[in-house]
Amino acid sequence: MKRKICVVVTARPSYARIKTALAAIRDHPDLELQLVVAASALLDRYGAAVKVMEAEGFRIDRKVYMIVEGENLVTSAKSTGIGMAELATVFNDLQPDVVVTVADRYETIATSVAAAYMNIPLAHVQGGEVTGSIDEKTRHANTKLADIHLVCCESARIRVEKLGERPESIFLTGCPSIDLAREALEEKRDVAEIVTRYSGVGAGVDVREPYVVVMQHPVTTEYDDSYRNTAETIEAIEAAGVPALWFWPNVDAGSDGTSKAIRVAREHGRLRQVHFYRNMHPADFLAVLMHSRGIIGNSSVALRECAYLGVPAVNIGSRQRGRDRGRNVRDVDYGRDAIAAAIRDVWSATERPVDMIYGDGHAGKRIADVLATCPLTIDKMLTY
């Protein structure tokens, strides 16, 4: 009998991180994929990742609407509570053998708690990493609730073991998002053709000429500063005078401040060399990244996929504090002068160093194989 593997995808980045594993699970002879899409992955204002999943051939088994409007600390907590209640119903209906939760967003803890209290073995992807902010707490809480740990790098494996998890339950698979980066390198797609498929708003940017990518999310522990921090990046982009493709922020506490700073700048006739997008297919986005001069902001893609692709990155602020990084990353604070100077360095960089910190591009198959063969248990005790 096939094992039923229920994967819960809650956001646009989560899909990019797990896509190749989804395909490997779906195609594995001993596994049955159950795909649950929830939270911001269902919402048009955050890119409607569910439409991308359906267009790429995935069957959606259940949809869970759980986002409370407001993008602040209260609504994040309430959305998590709604998610726990709704996902418990979904799991009771689908009766999976394993539930898979991804990374560290606040919605993931809803998945983990619901599965754990229903005595369903829980697999966690991307545990053991370090970033700070609420993501740190959520990630390690997921680890303590999980029974199967699918980690992306050696340092993460060591941390999960030090958290008291059994070594035989920890599997170093690499990060499935790196699989997409490997495919992007192999495909060498036409970026000019890709961007014609997405409308967006703002200035026309000729991607046959040099450009940068901007992706800046709010920091949940600094959400009151989101407007000001984004305004500093806007000042830096204008001071550097470089064309940019800017992607919309995640649905985290503070995202209203980030969005407002962008809207205010545009209403005052600024950012005249910037085009804004809500979302792209993961493969398209990676092709756009690969052909850029670099990425600016605080997204984990700058440290993960861009390390593998050799794309220079300007990492702003504290959101990725402590995460393993490659030689492609320049860390700066929120000041506009420091950001602008780093952008100029990236713009003129001639070297694009490559580091395989997060895997070799074959994680999806490893994850499917682990889920097909590993012992399933819900019994846990600290090992130290």
Quick one: fold of 182-348? Rossmann fold (3.40.50)
What residues does each domain of the chain span? 3-175+359-373, 182-348
| Beta-carbon count within 10 A of 196 CB | 10
The residue to which tokens 């967003």 are assigned: 105
What mean pLDDT is predicted for residues 119-144? 92
Query: Which residues neighbour 81 within 8 Å (Cβ) at sequence distance 6 or greater?
Result: 110
What is the end-to-end Cα distance of the chain in Å, rounded?
36
What integer pLDDT is reported at residue 182 of this predicted model? 95
Q: Would the pLDDT of 320 be above 80?
A: yes
What mean pLDDT is predicted for residues 371-382? 95
Domains 3-175+359-373 and 182-348 share a fold: yes
What integer pLDDT is reported at residue 278 of this predicted model? 87
Q: Which of 292, 294, 296 is nearest to 271 (CA)?
A: 296
Give this prediction's pTM: 0.88
pLDDT bracket for residue 116 (50, 70, 90)? very high
pLDDT bracket for residue 199 (50, 70, 90)? confident
CB 281 within 8 A of CB 71: no
Least confidently predicted of 38-52, 55-69, 88-102, 226-240: 38-52
Q: Indicate the class that CATH gives domain 3-175+359-373.
A: alpha beta
pLDDT bracket for residue 14 (50, 70, 90)? confident
pLDDT tens digits along 291-313: 999 999 999 999 999 999 999 99
Q: What is d(CA 161, CA 184) in angstroms, rounded to the nearest whole number?
A: 33
What mean pLDDT is predicted for residues 2-10? 97
Cross-sheet strand order for the sheet of 31-38: 62-64, 31-38, 3-9, 98-102, 122-125, 148-151, 170-172
CB 130 within 8 A of CB 21: no
CB 157 within 8 A of CB 170: yes
Radius of gyration of the chain (CA): 20
Please give the mean pLDDT across all residues of the chain. 93
Q: Would the pLDDT of 36 be above 80?
A: yes
What mean pLDDT is predicted for residues 105-132? 94
Task: List the beta bridge partners of residue 64.
Answer: 38
Count how many Cα atoms sit within 13 Å of the Cα of residue 357 in the half-sphere of its side chain: 24
CB 149 within 8 A of CB 166: no
Please classify residue 377 by burial: count the beta carbons closer than 10 Å to its beta carbon, then call 0-12 exposed, 13-18 middle and 19+ buried.
exposed
What mean pLDDT is predicted for residues 29-39? 97
What integer pLDDT is reported at residue 255 of this predicted model? 83
CB 99 within 8 A of CB 121: yes
pLDDT tens digits along 339-370: 999 999 999 999 999 999 999 999 999 999 99
Task: Indicate the SS3 state at residue 296.
Answer: strand
